[in-house]
Amino acid sequence: MSLFDIFNRQRQNGHTHTMAIETAIPDIPETTFIEKASPEKEPADEKPVTPFNGGIHLLYDFLDKNYESKGYNDALINPDTTHLEQNVIALKNDLERSIRKVKTFYEDFIRQINFHISSRSRSGMIDTVEELTIKKEIAESHISQVKEIEAQAKLNEGVGHGIVISYSRGFRNGLAAISSHIILNKNF
């Protein structure tokens, strides 16, 4: 008996090993266990979906950012006072742009509300008209706050000017840190 005869021999009942294996395993499609996806794309992280809100919260998010640490880091990168002045102008422009976005959002929103108020009042929907009127009053209140922030920013006052003060303080602290590290810590 040769070495390969062990694999080819018949069982006592007349079946070979290969016949038993072939008949015992049903044909299972590949898609049952394997999900075919392109390897280049990784699944996106689950992020909560927040709807775009162009309201006053957009402006307050801009005003609430930490500009002191940004000024500090900018000073470490480029400790030139003209760099400070340019970045302050850029911050003021960003504030003005944010104010314009918010104002445009509320102006469009109020136009839509006015249409719905007139349309629903013609249909006799009193409760809906009252709800829309309240929404309109809230939008008008928000737009008046935005206009107040805009007026104060033009006069270098109020919360809009706070970002300039914060950035300038951070920039000056960065300059002081550079001087402290380079000059003041040297032993003579």
DSSP string, 33-61: T-----TTPPPPP---------SHHHHHH
**pLDDT digits 0-9 by tens, 166-183:** 999 999 999 888 888 777
Q: How far is CA 159 from the centre of its chain?
A: 23
pLDDT at residue 21 greater than cutoff 90: no
Nearest CA among 88, 65, 80 for reference residue 175 = 80
**pLDDT digits 0-9 by tens, 40-50:** 554 444 444 44
Mean pLDDT, the chain, integer: 80
pLDDT at residue 185 greater than cutoff 70: no
pLDDT at residue 102 greater than cutoff 60: yes
- pTM higher than 0.85, yes or no? no
| Cα dihedral across residues 123, 124, 127, 132: positive or negative | positive
**What average pLDDT does this structure show over 10-29?**
56
Structure tokens that stand for 106 in this block: 């509320």
**What average pLDDT does this structure show over 74-79?**
88
As a whole number of angstroms, the distance between CA 18 and CA 29 comes to: 21
* Residue whose token pair is 């909560």: 48
